[in-house]
Amino acid sequence: VLSGCGVYDGTEIHEASAILVHLSRGGAKVQMYAPDVPQMHVIDHSKGQPAEAESRNVLVESARIARGKIASLAKLTTADHDAVIFPGGFGAAKNLSTFAVDGKDCKVNREVERVLKDFHKAGKPIGLCCISPVLAAKVLSGAEVTVGHEEEEGGKWPYAGTAGAIKELGGKHCVKESVFSLTHFYEAHVDTKNKVVTTPAFMCETELHHIFDGIGAMVKNVLKLTGK
Measure the CA–CA gap between 128 and 37, rounded to whole angstroms.
21
- Beta-strand pair 172-173/70-72: unpaired
Residue 106 among the catalytic residues: no
- Of 5, 129, 130, 174, the catalytic one is 130
Residue type, 120: H
End-to-end CA distance of the chain: 21
Which is nearest to 165 in space by CA: 118, 207, 104, 213? Answer: 104
Alpha-carbon distance 80 to 57, whole Å?
Answer: 25
Residue 1 DSSP SS3: coil
Q: Catalytic amino acids? A: 130
